[in-house]
Structure 1
Amino acid sequence: MTAPLKIDGETKIFPIIGHPIGQVKSPNSLSQIMADRGYNGMVVPLHILPEDLAGWLAQAHAMQNCDGIVITVPHKARCLEFCAHVTARGRAAGAVNIMIRSGDGWLGDATDGQGYLDGIAAEGFDIAGKSALLVGTGGAGSAIAYEMLARGASELALHDIDTARRDALIERLSIAFPGRVRSGSTDPRGFALVANATPLGMRDGDPLPVDTALLTAEQFVADVVTRPAIPKLIEAARAAGCATMPGSGMFNGQAVLLAELLMGERAVET
């Protein structure tokens, strides 16, 4: 039985910011985790335009009952510059998806990779010692790439239509993981894990992030897209006989982690 939400003058407010914001599912789930644990807090979605981000963050810092912020597209990379401290994951990813109040500033972390790989692990796939292709090197993709390598991927190929962004991530990751990361393409052949970290699949008419005609049944295919529940990539992968993880797996994998970080029940690993 779930506990009722409590809202009063002592309630802690944790915004989740993005543009757009209508696709996010976490406010209710994170707020409910807080309520179930007896914590007086709530997560509120806010639609913040990129040009208004700096001004809004200044106001958020002035809110004494706001101890943390969750960040989604397209603000993850830019929010890095507003953090006084950043975890090793966040620095390598070049982006943050959560900011925790720390002294006079914000401590930024990138948990998308943990959620993504935890979701994949829950489906029975272990990345250690295996090769992976990752499409998308934005905020989420950067964090996912870092976590894949941190968990022992033997080789990681990165593909992005923004080649400058891809190459910058390869350069950052190569410092911590020399010789294990390179550029890739939309050709999924030869990879044990094929992963999408782009929004492709959210809208009707989107192209597929990889050439699904080349998928084979022994491959595992994962996606970040949560709406529709079964994105076209996952639908095509299942038709090819692949084991899969849709975006809901990533969402479930990091919901408790995010809630615990916001509530202060878990310390950020710097």
Structure 2
Amino acid sequence: MNLRLDGETRLYVIVGDPIAQVKSPALLSENLNTRGTNGLVVPIHVSAENIVEFVTSLRGAQNVDGVVFTVPHKQAGLALCDRPSVRAVFAGSVNVMHRAADGLWVGDNTDGQGYLDGAAAKGFEIAGKRALLVGVGGAGAAIAYEILNRGADFLAIHELNTERRDAIIERLAEKFPGKVGIGSADPTGFDFIGNATPVGMRDGDPLPVQADKLLAQQFVADAITKPEITPLLQAARAKGCNTMPGLGMFNAQADILVDSLLGQRAT
């Protein structure tokens, strides 16, 4: 990576608490550089109680053109964004925003786009298919929206927090009537099975779905990046399923994030 760093460098920050585990600054900086942009993505450790003050102060930094929000600041990002996308409003969070020509922050939530683009890169298109999604937390809500926004025939949601599940289903049903309902851990009858929970990160975690009922023609995706091949994906591959690990989402999202930071993606 041959980055420039001088007085003309445009800065983009990625904020989180903690931040040491974040691996994307180098990848995003390289992506910017490849596109001919003299830009650098800088990781900054900001606590929840300081995030509003910090991001507000960036309005006066004229060479800071964008912000990436990671855990736990995505929900706060929505309130700090002047013009959030429909996706971001639905998900209740913003994970990226750029400074528009008028100086206002334009934001989006790219989690769902990254998840579905990652699946598409593995040969699966969601349009016209039946999908089961496990988990509709921060990223899961964005993924649920994107599944239906890209033309899925039906989405079933399995979420242990039934209040959150029902609230998401109600909101989705307003925009996509007849296309969403309550799911379970049984993957029978679905073309696409997606995990958007942290279940599978720790040894001894249960499987998020009944993997013994998986069939070879089904596509199984996971949002977890470590381990790269989760127990769910191991079980799915043993059944002959095509799969997408969390790194597929991560890699697809890198391009989307840079598009968003540069204001080159429609919101």
Query: Does TM-score exceed 0.5, indicating one fold?
Result: yes
- Pairs within 5 Å for 1:163-174: 163-174=162-173
Question: Displacement, 1:75?
Answer: 2.2
User: In structure 2, what is the equivalent of residue 46 of structure 1?
Assistant: 44
Q: Helix, strand or coil for the counterpart of 1:153?
A: coil
User: In structure 1, what is the equivalent of residue 176 of structure 2?
Assistant: 177
Q: Helix, strand or coil for the counterpart of 2:171?
A: helix
Give yes or no for contact 2:134–2:159 (8 Å, CA) kept in 1.
yes
1:96 aligns with 2:94: yes
Give yes or no for contact 1:39–1:263 (8 Å, CA) kept in 2.
no
Question: Displacement, 1:118?
Answer: 1.2
> What is the TM-score when the length of structure 1 is the normalising length?
0.90
Residue-by-residue CA offset, 1:129-185 (whole Å, 9 max, x unaligned):
111111121221111111110111111011222322222222221221111111222
Give yes or no for contact 2:95–2:107 (8 Å, CA) kept in 1.
yes
1:156 aligns with 2:125: no
Question: Displacement, 1:99?
Answer: 1.4
CA distance in 1, matches of 2:31, 2:212: 41
Q: Helix, strand or coil for the counterpart of 1:235?
A: helix
- Unpaired runs of at least 5, structure 1: none
**Which amino acid letter does the alignment assign opposite residue 141 of structure 2?**
S
- Pairs within 5 Å for 1:245-256: 245-256=244-255
Question: Displacement, 1:246?
Answer: 0.3
Task: Number of aligned residue pairs: give it.
Answer: 266
Question: Displacement, 1:104?
Answer: 4.5
1:7 aligns with 2:5: yes
Question: Displacement, 1:30?
Answer: 0.9
Give yes or no for contact 1:16–1:43 (8 Å, CA) kept in 2.
yes
Give yes or no for contact 1:33–1:256 (8 Å, CA) kept in 2.
yes
C-alpha spacing 1:161/1:23, structure 2 compared with 1 (3 Å)? farther
CA distance in 2, matches of 1:187, 1:74: 31
CA distance in 1, matches of 2:56, 2:145: 29
Question: Displacement, 1:113?
Answer: 1.4
User: In structure 2, what is the equivalent of residue 75 of structure 1?
Assistant: 73
Question: Displacement, 1:13?
Answer: 1.9
- Unpaired runs of at least 5, structure 2: none
CA distance in 2, matches of 1:50, 1:85: 22
CA distance in 2, matches of 1:109, 1:43: 18
CA distance in 2, matches of 1:59, 1:204: 42
Structure 1 stretches (4+) deviating beyond 4 angstroms? none
C-alpha spacing 1:76/1:23, structure 2 compared with 1 (3 Å)? same
CA distance in 2, matches of 1:220, 1:129: 14
Q: Percent identity?
A: 56
User: In structure 2, what is the equivalent of residue 212 of structure 1?
Assistant: 211
- Pairs within 5 Å for 1:1-270: 3-102=1-100, 103-264=102-263, 266=264, 268-270=265-267
> What is the TM-score when the length of structure 2 is the normalising length?
0.91
**Which amino acid letter does the alignment assign opposite residue 218 of structure 2?**
Q
Q: Helix, strand or coil for the counterpart of 1:4?
A: coil
Q: Helix, strand or coil for the counterpart of 1:95?
A: coil
Q: Helix, strand or coil for the counterpart of 1:67?
A: strand
CA distance in 2, matches of 1:90, 1:41: 25
Residue-by-residue CA offset, 1:1-34 (whole Å, 9 max, x unaligned):
xx50111222222122233434433211110011
154-163 or 124-133: which moved more?
Answer: 154-163
C-alpha spacing 1:23/1:195, structure 2 compared with 1 (3 Å)? farther
Give yes or no for contact 1:222–1:245 (8 Å, CA) kept in 2.
yes
**Which amino acid letter does the alignment assign opposite residue 120 of structure 1?**
A
Calculate the aligned-residue CA RMSD, in Å. 1.9
Give yes or no for contact 1:93–1:169 (8 Å, CA) kept in 2.
no
Question: Displacement, 1:218?
Answer: 1.8
